[in-house]
Amino acid sequence: MKTLFTLLISAFLITACSQGNAQENMTVNDLHAIPFNDDESKVVLDVRTAQEYAEGKIPGSENLDVLKTDLFTTSIKKLDKDKTYYVICRSGSRSLKAATQMKEAGFKNVINITGGMQAWGAANFPVEK
């Protein structure tokens, strides 16, 4: 009986810990529907290269290149962990990596944007240069 109880508690703890780090995803349609209205608690974080970012970005977004690993790691330490970050890249792969790293660093509200800027552009949502 004690062994069964220990196994159940262990299973519960493993599940609870893994759910705490579960990755949230959102489509570009969902992101576009969010009213940002100068709400500083919400940040669109574009993790593409500076060159990609300069070619077209979501208005009001911030850029932090995830491929510059050391700089990215150092830079996220300076970000406000209480804000909600909507992380986007070209297609969704780098943003998933960045969002996972941010969650592991203690950020509570990090959402990966699936489809990335390719999906954003395909939906004809606003892009600025």
Measure the CA–CA gap between 90 and 113, rounded to whole angstroms: 10
pLDDT tens digits for range 67-118: 999 999 999 999 999 999 999 999 999 999 999 999 999 999 999 999 999 9
Q: What's this model's pTM, rounded to 2 decimal places?
A: 0.82
Start-to-end C-alpha separation, the chain = 65
- Which one from 43, 44, 89, 110 is the annotated catalytic residue? 89
* Residue 17 bears catalytic tag: no
Residue 127 lies in a domain: no
What is the predicted pLDDT for the residue at 8?
37
pLDDT tens digits for range 56-81: 999 999 999 999 999 999 999 999 99
Residue 7 lies in a domain: no
Residue 111 lies in a domain: yes
pLDDT tens digits for range 11-59: 333 333 333 445 699 999 999 999 988 889 999 999 999 999 999 999 9
Q: How many domains are contained in the chain?
A: 1
Residue 42 lies in a domain: yes
